[in-house]
Amino acid sequence: MKIFATGATGTYAGLVVPALVRHGLDVRAAVHDPAKRDIPLGYGATETVSADLGDPGSLRAALDGVDGAFLITPAFAPDATKMGLNLIEAAQAAGVRKIVYNGVYHPSLPLENHASTRPIEAALYSSTLDFTILQPAMYMQGLDGAYEQARNTGTLVMPWSKQAQMTYVDYRDVAEAAALAFVDDRLSFGTFELAAPGTVDRVRLAELMAEACGRGVTAGDLPAGFTLPPGQPAGLAAMFDEYDRHGFHGGNPLVLRTVLRREPRTLAAYIAELGTSDHDTT
- Look at residue 275 and tell me if it is in a domain: no
- Look at residue 272 and tell me if it is in a domain: no
- Look at residue 189 and tell me if it is in a domain: yes
pLDDT beyond 90 at 123: yes
User: How do residues 1-34 score in pLDDT, each as one tens digit?
Assistant: 999 999 999 999 999 999 999 999 999 999 988 8
Query: What CATH number is given to the structural domain containing 94?
Result: 3.40.50.720
Query: Domain span at residue 59?
Result: 2-139+169-196+250-265
Taking residues 88-105, what's their average pLDDT?
97
pLDDT beyond 70 at 108: yes
Instruction: Check residue 148 and give its pLDDT.
Output: 97
- Look at residue 153 and tell me if it is in a domain: no
Instruction: Check residue 223 and give its pLDDT.
Output: 80
Taking residues 235-244, what's their average pLDDT?
93
Instruction: Check residue 282 and give its pLDDT.
Output: 42
User: How do residues 40-51 score in pLDDT, each as one tens digit?
Assistant: 999 999 999 999
- Look at residue 237 and tell me if it is in a domain: no
- Look at residue 227 and tell me if it is in a domain: no
Instruction: Check residue 280 and give its pLDDT.
Output: 58
- Look at residue 45 and tell me if it is in a domain: yes
- Look at residue 43 and tell me if it is in a domain: yes
Among positive and negative, which fits the CA dihedral 120, 77, 54, 136?
Answer: negative
Instruction: Check residue 263 and give its pLDDT.
Output: 98
Instruction: Check residue 32 and give its pLDDT.
Output: 87
Are 226 and 217 in contact, with CB atoms under 8 Å apart? no
Taking residues 65-71, what's their average pLDDT?
98
d(CA 220, CA 93): 52
Q: How distant, in Å, are the alpha carbons of 148, 194, 268 from that of 256?
A: 28, 5, 17
Domain count within the chain: 1
pLDDT beyond 80 at 95: yes
Q: How distant, in Å, are the alpha carbons of 19, 25, 216, 242 from that of 134?
A: 15, 19, 37, 22
